[in-house]
Every structure is written in C-alpha cells, then in structure tokens.
Amino acid sequence: NRSRPSLENLVRYLNLSIISLSRAARYKDEERQPGHVVEFKGLKGAAHLNGTRGDLVEFFKKEQRWAVRCDGDNNEIVKTKPENLTLLDRKFAEASMPTVRILPPDH
C-alpha cells in the first residue's frame, strides 16, 4: 500500500522543478553557475581587478554579463563579460589561499 504524495508536496516538487529549469535556461554557459569562484583577466576599464578573484552572483542574459562579488573588504559587485573570467575550481582557490598559523604567546 504505497501512499500517494499530498497535493502540497506535489505542488512543491513541481515549483522546484520549474525554478530549476528556468535557472538553467538563464545561463548560456552551463560550466559557470552562481557561487563558482572566478579570476578576472583582460579587463581594461577595471584593470586593477585583473588577477583578483570573486564569486559569480548572477548572469544577466540581456547584457551577456556576469555579476561578480569581488573578494576583499568591500565585497564590490561588478558586471563582467564571460570571456574576462577564468573559472577556478573551489578546491584550487581555497588551496592557493595563504595559510595563517597562530602561535601560542610563548613562541
């Protein structure tokens, strides 16, 4: 005797499916998704960002630009062409960050 899913659960499942499909359709580049770590390259108007990193926030299809939250103190968000971003593996990005050791006061 398998119970049928409640109408509420069915609606929730269908809504999640529709949301997932609409989000997938928004991104031309399936390799890049919000939350991925990227590095800026080849920027001319904001050349100071070249070589720095950030997290993808949202893709603006009409403008063909990614909103990227820059690493740093102010968490600035900039819109950038996909060709000016190098996708970094999160493990690589974390591994390449400097390691800080805190020594006890007697050292």
Q: What is the spatial order of strands in the sheet that 65-70 belongs to?
A: 77-80, 65-70, 53-60, 37-40, 85-88
Predicted confidence at residue 103, as pLDDT, reads 62
Question: How much is the pTM?
Answer: 0.58
Predicted confidence at residue 79, as pLDDT, reads 95
Predicted confidence at residue 11, as pLDDT, reads 64
Angle at 90 between CA 86 and CA 94, to 5 degrees: 110
Predicted confidence at residue 90, as pLDDT, reads 56
Amino acid at position 5, single letter: P
Predicted confidence at residue 101, as pLDDT, reads 55
Question: Is 83 within 8 Å of 32 (Cβ atoms)?
Answer: no
User: What string of pLDDT tens digits covers the 107 residues of the chain?
Assistant: 556 666 676 666 665 555 545 444 444 555 788 889 999 999 999 999 999 999 999 999 899 999 999 987 778 899 999 999 999 865 544 444 554 555 666 65
